[in-house]
Amino acid sequence: MKRREFVKLSGAAAASIAIIPPVLQSCADNMNMNMNMGSNAVPVKEGAFTTPLTFPSVMTSNFSMQAKGNTVSLLNAQSTSVLGYTDGILGPTIKVDNGSDVSIAFQNQLSEETNVHWHGLLVPANMDGHPKDVINSGSSFNFNLPLSQRAGTYWYHPHPHGKTARQVFMGLAGFFIVNDSEEQSLNLPSGDQELLLVIQDKRIKNGQLNYSPSMDEVMTGYTGEYVLVNGRNAPFHNVSTRYYRLRILNGSTARVYNIAFSDNQSFEVIGTDGGLLAQPVTVNSLLIGPGERADILVSFKSFSVGKEVYLISRTFNGGAQGRQEFKIMKFVVNQQASDSFTVPNQLSSIQPIAPASASKTRIMKIKGMMEGMNMGSMGSGMHTINDKVYDLDRIDETVQAGATEIWEFDNSDGDEIHPMHIHGVQFQVLQRTGGRGSLIATEQGWKDTVLVMPREKVTVIMTFPQEKGVFVFHCHNLEHEDDGMMLNYEVV
């Protein structure tokens, strides 16, 4: 059943109240009332853009991290409790070279279990941060990450089932940057011309960071009225008249952003989840869902000193979410500088995986509450893949080591947005049918997360690793994931 049909049917059911048990009638009435309330994301409140943008510390060696509670000021100088991998919100940026063996000593100083998922990294199953591999409060774990993959903008965050969304929302996330010789040879903007931006929305109530989704917000995803960049609300950043490289991570639990600039200037998309594209793609806006990354080049060369331009999110056809345009951060041109950089015509070499090489095609039917609800199951497990709610101990799909497969994520009957993420592998997007009907710039390279909008089917192809083990795939709307939209697959 689709959400729009449920609204009609719940109205019809009101006329038959005598035959519906009072508890179910009350629940249906409450859901009918909340349906319109939840049909829009919480509107964003723009700030003054007077707070300087800051960047997390960078670690290149001697890695150790702690997950812990901290107190910081997020809004109007009022202190609030957050989580972080450092002394503030978020975590350090880890920068390493491909081919490195990275060892990270991790301590859980939270009052509950947690773990760390290295999102996009191709690491052994026992190091991936599977929901079964939790680290208890007060305990430690040594991660050993042998890196054998392309340079790219990866990230890390917790993955304990049922707690992921809240822990990420409260601040547990950080960049993991892998470098290689191919990328270094391009001499892309670096140093203070390379800006790592994690964009997140936060709900703040009475000055305090507040994660308390209603049933309806579990259905649609929990959105906040304040947008933060690197843990700062409405920041600004001074730039010179040069090219800048922006590595953007959508670290929100549910909100989708349509990235653009307030002066409508074009920019070059040079990379995505799994590293560089083959060639740059020029766009004026770019849709980025939770968990996805975008690597872009933007030029301020033609601007005069004193010029201000905003990174914004434009409206888009996304049902619940895309109805508001809002500013995210401000760039202020404060210095004239010479810049000889030109955008390379060729960035990388990407060999397409031939569909004919796939040994199997799997259909993953993704359903929100209204698409597949029975009245006896309301309140938990409202989101499913192939009619299954996540079971920690059940193997849902079995994959042969080294096999190439095609997976189709089918949201053709759905009203909700589902960014689908597969652990342990990078994939290529073959096609999108229904909905938008075509691929976007970031879907022309290697991906680990793909946005599946309402009424869309998205088909991906991938070659699985030789190393065996159990991984998960799930919706990266983290409310949906915690609600059960996740399955296990085993490489055998």
Q: What is the pLDDT of residues 159-194, one digit of tens each?
A: 999 999 999 999 999 999 999 999 999 999 999 999
Share of the chain above pLDDT 70, in %: 89
**How far apart (Å, rounded) are the C-alpha atoms in residues 282 and 262?**
16
Share of the chain above pLDDT 90, in %: 86
Domain positions in the chain are 3-37, 355-491
At residue 433 the predicted structure's pLDDT band, cuts being 50, 70 and 90, is very high
Q: What is the pLDDT of residues 210-243, one digit of tens each?
A: 999 999 999 999 999 999 999 999 999 999 999 9
At residue 33 the predicted structure's pLDDT band, cuts being 50, 70 and 90, is very low
**How far apart (Å, rounded) are the C-alpha atoms in residues 315 and 310?**
15
At residue 40 the predicted structure's pLDDT band, cuts being 50, 70 and 90, is low
Among 21-25, 257-261, 357-361, name the one with the lowest average pLDDT.
21-25
User: What element of type H or E holds 250?
Assistant: strand 243-250
**How far apart (Å, rounded) are the C-alpha atoms in residues 219 and 137?**
30
At residue 34 the predicted structure's pLDDT band, cuts being 50, 70 and 90, is very low
**How far apart (Å, rounded) are the C-alpha atoms in residues 173 and 251?**
8
Average pLDDT over residues 139-153: 98
At residue 356 the predicted structure's pLDDT band, cuts being 50, 70 and 90, is very high
At residue 27 the predicted structure's pLDDT band, cuts being 50, 70 and 90, is very low
Q: What are phi and psi of 193, to 5 degrees?
A: -100, 5
- pLDDT for the residue numbered 377: 36
CB proximity list for 431: less than 8 A, separation 6 or greater: 439, 458, 459
- pLDDT tops 80 at residue 382: yes
**How far apart (Å, rounded) are the C-alpha atoms in residues 196 and 245?**
8
Contact 245, 193 (CB under 8 A): yes
Q: Which residue has the tokens 């702690």?
A: 66
Average pLDDT over residues 450-464: 97
**What residue type is 438 in one-letter code?**
S
Average pLDDT over residues 258-279: 98
Residue, of 75 and 385, whose pLDDT is higher: 385
Average pLDDT over residues 251-277: 98
Strands (E), 29-171: 51-52, 58-59, 64-75, 78-84, 93-97, 101-108, 117-119, 140-146, 152-157
Rounded (5°) CA angle 77-82-86: 100
- pLDDT for the residue numbered 79: 94
> What's the number of CA atoms in the CB half-sphere (13 Å) around residue 442?
28
- pLDDT tops 80 at residue 316: yes
Report CA torsion sign: 473, 476, 478, 480: negative
Per-state percent for the chain, helix, strand, coil, to nearest 5: 15, 40, 45
- pLDDT for the residue numbered 374: 41
Q: Report the SS3 class of residue 36.
A: helix
β-strand partners of 174: 156
At residue 32 the predicted structure's pLDDT band, cuts being 50, 70 and 90, is very low
Average pLDDT over residues 132-142: 98
Q: Tell me the C-alpha to C-alpha distance, in Å, between residue 86 and each of 48, 61, 137, 209, 474.
A: 27, 16, 17, 18, 28
- pLDDT tops 90 at residue 473: yes
- pLDDT for the residue numbered 173: 98
Residue, of 172 and 12, whose pLDDT is higher: 172
- pLDDT for the residue numbered 318: 77
User: What element of type H or E holds 14?
Assistant: helix 3-14
- pLDDT for the residue numbered 371: 52
Average pLDDT over residues 29-33: 37
- pLDDT tops 50 at residue 29: no
List the structure tokens of 228. Answer: 């933060």
Q: Report the SS3 class of residue 387.
A: coil
**How far apart (Å, rounded) are the C-alpha atoms in residues 191 and 57?**
14
At residue 1 the predicted structure's pLDDT band, cuts being 50, 70 and 90, is very low
β-strand partners of 405: 360, 462
- pLDDT tops 70 at residue 117: yes
- pLDDT tops 90 at residue 47: yes
Outline where 18-122 has alpha helix (H): 22-37
- pLDDT for the residue numbered 76: 80
**How far apart (Å, rounded) are the C-alpha atoms in residues 106 and 114?**
11
Q: What is the pLDDT of residues 79-114, one digit of tens each?
A: 999 999 999 999 999 999 999 999 999 999 999 999
Classify domain 355-491 by CATH architecture.
Sandwich (2.60)
